Structure 1
Amino acid sequence: MDFETRMVTDSLGREVEIPAIVEKIVPLGNTPRMITYLGLANKVAGIGGMAPDRISPVTAYAYATKDLWANVPIVGTDSGGATNYYPEQIISVNPDVIFCSYNKELADEIQNKTGVPVLTVPMGTLFGKDYEQALRLLGDVCGTKERAEDVIAYINDCLKDLKERSASIPDADKPSVLGAAATFKGAHGIEGVYSKYAVFEAISANDVTEGIADKAGGVLVDKEQVIGWNPQFIFLDSGGVNLVKTDYDKNPDYYAQLRAVENEKVYQYPSSTSYYSNVEIPIVNSYYVAGILYPEQFSDIVFEKKANDIFRFFLGSDDYLSKLKAAGVSYGKVPLGDD
């Protein structure tokens, strides 16, 4: 090599020689979202993702950068959980580095087929330490260490604020809540629920699903289980709202047994998961849910301002709420039985 290089150890312990200064990148897996948070969207030469005409505001990082990336070649996809990459297209855009969140075998395969250095980072657990590891590695390679630390601090400050405000509420005074119409392997109706949901855990919510699963994620339950839980509040992923409304029209007697429906305590928020998990939307969702469940403790928070501040920090986009509202995937009550 006739230019300065350095050795970097990635998250899987692979030692990779990369250019000392990285100007052109190809992010695959969950790294397009991460590099967007780090302000590196303008360094993308080719991207793993979906066609621009399929991008919803719920895939926030891609929607916020869709104009910037309008002419950036798609060089891979993880749509529907199926990972694929296109070596010829990657070679044609001549990147300095390829980032991915894949296993060692696939990372080595991509590097061998393209001749381009490949660095792996953790997939990223929502609000987890491995996400911090990913951001720090990306920031180190691309010269945005300070921004990486700012993003990590911002996430942790939000989580601390949410936790501290919620901690003063006795468990006995917390209303019961269910996260339904969960997004996992597609959209689901009322029977698709979240277990150990990070949005609820961030605010120490009284989640009725506690104990149904060992791992965080979506779970399909019998609809009668929802009746058994009979939560006071139900929050629905925007992607599953129409499934719930359709089911209500077919089975109104079932929903009449739910006090959240009877008391008009059913709400929607944007799906946290869209082409892997978002970060900014779940943080906003946590503030939204907390403001409804714990109005006294969050009385000084103006939700619209807080939400747009969070979106602006992560995405560099002003008034992102209006984009969510225009697409019908924003925040609000879900009327069941009303047109």
Structure 2
Amino acid sequence: MRRSPAALLFAALSLVGCSTYQAPAHPRPALPLPAEFAERYRLPEPPREDYLVPLDPARRLWRGRLTCGTEHPEFHLLLPPGEPRPFLLCMPILAGGGDLMHWVAQFMAGRGYAVAWSARVESAMHPDHDTRAVERLLRRSVVHNRAILAWARTQPFCRADQQAVLGISTGGILAGTMMAVEPQLCGGVLILAGGDLPDLLEHTAEGRIARWRAHRRAVDDLTDAQIGARLRVDLTSDPARLAPYIPTRRTLLVSAAWDDVVPRRNQDILWEALGRPQRLQLLALGHYTAAIDVILPTQVILRHADAFLRER
């Protein structure tokens, strides 16, 4: 007997070990984004297409680049055949992850989405980056992804009224910010993301960030607490701070119980700030075993994300 998609999803969730929390029956509405916040992420001009070239015509895989003011967003694109499709923009993890993003795109394209995944603007958390440089990079990353969304809305393959974002780890944090500055998005899937970024950067076990903290201690003669204080002044592109402008009903948060890269308290801070949106909690898994190194949990997450987005 053929099993329904819902039954298959339930079976997969049982194998991986998950808890699901539904959003409130009457979620709080999102507030309009204040003009001063909108200005931080404003596109300097409408994006122009520099090129869109086929990499693998048989798989309908393309690579593109845009110009938007002085910025040049780059991306890959997978297009299912047929009529205009819902458009899903995926955002990468802190470092590496090219194969992961390609796999995520293939999975979601197989479910009928036109899927793009953006390239990182530049190396993140470089030792030479001070706290203000971290914020500048986050803002530039939002502008790059906004430009890709704006370009996609003009393309015949995209249903302009059905756009969503999905991000993993650092990409999930960016996806949260995108939900605040792009209120027309149908949905956002924030995977392994957290809020209160100054606290997260102070306490995460992620190696690159730990090395960045060590460099800042040595160069600036600061303690971790002093670095955190500077981040609280300089780092404003935090989904928890922008949460009042993010619609609860359109947000799915995916977290891992044993995550020491995005600690549990930062996961919970973001969940509470967002108005307790629908949440998928992966039990007995950490940051990398949840969605970066192991395929089965990633499949479970993406099936859940697909079901969530189809209801929006």
Q: TM-score, normalised by structure 2?
A: 0.26
Larger Rg: 1
- Structure with the higher strand share, 1 or 2: 2
